[in-house]
Amino acid sequence: MKMIRLSAQKTGRCIFLLCTMFSVMSHAQDERTLDPYANETKEERDARMDWWREARFGMFIHWGVYAVPAGVHNGKEITRNNGEWIMHYEKIPVDEYKEYAKQFNPVKYDPVAWARLAKEAGMRYMVITSKHHDGFALFPSDVTDWDIADASPYGKDLIGPLADAARDEGLHIGFYYSHAQDWVNPGGAKRGFEEGDGWDEMQKGDYDAYLDNIAAPQVKEILTRYKPDILWWDFPVWMNKKRADRLIPLIRLAPGIITNDRLGGGYKGDTDTPEQHIPATGFKNRDWEVCMTMNKTWGYKSFDHNWKSSRDLIQKLCDIVSKGGNFLLNVGPTAEGEIPQPSVERLKAIGAWMDVNGESIYGTTASPFHRLTWGRCTRKDHSEGTTLYLQVFDWPSDGKLLVPGLKNRPKSIQLLQSGAMLNAQSIAGETPGIAIEVPANAPDRAVSVIKLEIEGELDVEAVMPEQDSDGTLKLEPVFADLHNRFGTNLQLENTHGESHIGQWSKSGAWVSWTFLISRPGQYRVTAKLSSEKDSKVTWNLAGKKKNDAMIEATGGFENYEVRELGIIDVKEAGTYSLEIRPDKEGWNPIQVRSVNFDPVIAR
């Protein structure tokens, strides 16, 4: 096995390594100059991030040697992990895993077709794995033979042609690089193992030597050769500031590049990267991007047919953008170089929707509304006023779309799909808003978009749940903020015409509601829910003492019953947030249909 052996096969490698190390060391002499964007002004940052904020939608590509086993090793389907993690989860020895590279021959790879597909889907940028955790480089590397040029029969660059094709289509290009975790190159981090250790003797080595001799030189290679627009770090195992300081100066090699938050060492980069879930409310004062798969896996898995529908993906795109984020949607090509047909079909369906409704996505910012029960909203501010795009998931059956909280009278209201002009009336009563008269049938099965032109300054009042005249308060699922974490899938569901919070199967997810209390007092807090087993939760009004509640099983998820959480004393009128979190020790899945506050003592 070649570690850092400088063979005659690659002349100049020694000089390359020494120059790279000297460059990194020279930058490290002055910590104040390490991060080139450390002293960037807001105006400079806005200019650098402008294309990314305009784009809103991109393609993620996870591709590598792991596409050869495609989730199957020694004749067994490996169901418990993503396809790209097969080496780690099966503890495949290095030499054995390297045999897969001899079968990695993507002769059907067509980078032009990939870029055109991304463009047809309405995407504005692409990000591909230049090196994933198995350490295999999809580009000819001068620092190791574990790359596409030396270890595979294909023998030539994969990411360079894609960068060229993307730019020819007017798309930006980015490279994912696993800088810390590496399961083949000695010394690279292995999750779950001590530093320098591994499941194979050939993996063991010095982590700092790996960073100096593999990671740093390879990052320099991809930045200098291809000048990407994005560098997508991943998995900072064992990274600290001193180690990250060896890599951060290298981003100077691609001026204007955008980086994410996964380098480690306290460097936050430009974008936050929630994975496989959509944050409840987005991120304040930070650019962010949801990365998500179409099925369950990032890398290709031959037997993973659990595909999200195109309707679901379009609604996820709207949800993310309505909160101010970008959507990086993944494809996992086969070892032959083909994007799976179900992915192609979904991308084309999204593209057809974007052809009509793309203006409600590109260059938009977050919704001004607290919550819309029927869908989402994006906005564009301009010199004459504001354009609002109402993205309707659930089309009203009575012919009236209620927009609560909007005090402006729109200058014009238009269906994007047909161009038809619509009328609206002001909503009578204490809550401001308008009621838009809409056709009986939804123009689009996935998401219908209505465009509102507002002259002058936008005036929206936050509309949230509040007490009835008798002091009772009902918190329904549609007004909940669902807080998912990596690996959780908490979501709003509807059965038999009633909504509930479902898929609450893991303790990492939690729920909150924001609401108004106008009548202080003591309240009995109950929840209408269903469960198969007894479950323990903690709950509190934000900033208040946490309370424990033991929830008795209801006899199954189809059987909803009321369970008491406890008594809470609200001393002042105002806006409050109720949080319900699983207790890690006593948690079992539940489904929630509503949470209710009933007065015990009113003040």
- Which of 9-23, 229-243, 415-429 bottoms out in mean pLDDT, i.e. has the lowest? 9-23
Range 117-122 average pLDDT: 98
- Residue-level pLDDT at 185: 97
Does 135 score more than 80 pLDDT?
Answer: yes
Provide Rg for the chain, Cα atoms. 26
| Burial class of residue 320 in the structure, from the number of CB atoms within 10 Å of its CB (0-12 exposed, 13-18 middle, 19+ buried) | buried
Q: By the 8 A CB rule, do 239 and 207 touch?
A: no
Does 178 score more than 70 pLDDT?
Answer: yes
Question: Closest Cα to residue 178, out of 225, 123, 226, 130?
Answer: 130
453-472 pLDDT, tens digit per residue, is 999 999 999 888 999 999 99
Q: In terms of DSSP H, where are the helices of 305-368?
A: 310-322, 341-357
Neighbours of 305 (CB within 10 A): 10
363-403 pLDDT, tens digit per residue, is 999 999 988 999 999 999 999 999 999 999 999 999 999 99
Task: State the architecture of 473-602 in CATH terms.
Answer: Sandwich (2.60)
538-570 pLDDT, tens digit per residue, is 999 877 788 999 999 999 999 999 999 999 999
- Residue-level pLDDT at 487: 72
CA atoms of 401 and 379, how far apart (whole Å): 18
Which residues are paired to 539 by β-bridges?
A: 547, 580
- Residue-level pLDDT at 33: 58
CA atoms of 130 and 242, how far apart (whole Å): 24
Q: By the 8 A CB rule, do 190 and 113 touch?
A: no
Local structure of residue 147 (DSSP, 8 states): B
Question: Closest Cα to residue 202, out of 212, 187, 192, 213?
Answer: 187
Does 305 score more than 60 pLDDT?
Answer: yes
Q: Residue 171, SS3?
A: coil
Range 276-293 average pLDDT: 92
Average pLDDT for the chain: 92
Comparison of pLDDT for 432 and 43, the residue scoring more: 43
CB neighbours of 384 closer than 8 A, spacing ≥ 6?
455
Note if the pTM is more than 0.85.
yes
Does 3 score more than 90 pLDDT?
Answer: no
Q: By the 8 A CB rule, do 267 and 35 touch?
A: yes
Residue with tokens 């369950």: 296
Does 41 score more than 80 pLDDT?
Answer: yes
Determine the topology of domain 375-455 in CATH. Answer: Immunoglobulin-like (2.60.40)
Which residues are paired to 390 by β-bridges?
A: 377, 450
CATH of 13-360, one of 3.30.465.10, 3.20.20.80, 3.50.50.60, 3.30.70.890: 3.20.20.80
State the pLDDT confidence band at 603, using cuts at 50, 70 and 90.
low
* Phi-psi sector, 420: left (phi>0), alpha (psi -120 to 50), beta: beta
Report the amino acid identity of residue 591.
Q
Structure tokens at 192: 């779950």
Range 293-310 average pLDDT: 97
% of the chain surpassing 90 pLDDT: 84
Does 429 score more than 90 pLDDT?
Answer: no
Structure tokens at 420: 């038809």
- Residue-level pLDDT at 376: 97
Neighbours of 547 (CB within 10 A): 15
- Residue-level pLDDT at 34: 86
State the pLDDT confidence band at 21, using cuts at 50, 70 and 90.
very low
CA atoms of 391 and 446, how far apart (whole Å): 10
State the pLDDT confidence band at 602, using cuts at 50, 70 and 90.
low
Q: Per-domain residue ranges for the chain?
A: 13-360, 375-455, 473-602
How far CA 280 is from CA of 78, 138, 317, 341, 534, in Å, comes to 32, 36, 14, 31, 27
CA-CA-CA-CA dihedral for 325, 327, 328, 331, to nearest 10: 170
Local structure of residue 267 (DSSP, 8 states): B
323-342 pLDDT, tens digit per residue, is 999 999 999 999 999 999 99
Does 179 score more than 60 pLDDT?
Answer: yes
E strand segments, 27-181: 57-61, 72-73, 76-77, 125-131, 172-178
- Residue-level pLDDT at 539: 94
State the pLDDT confidence band at 100, using cuts at 50, 70 and 90.
very high
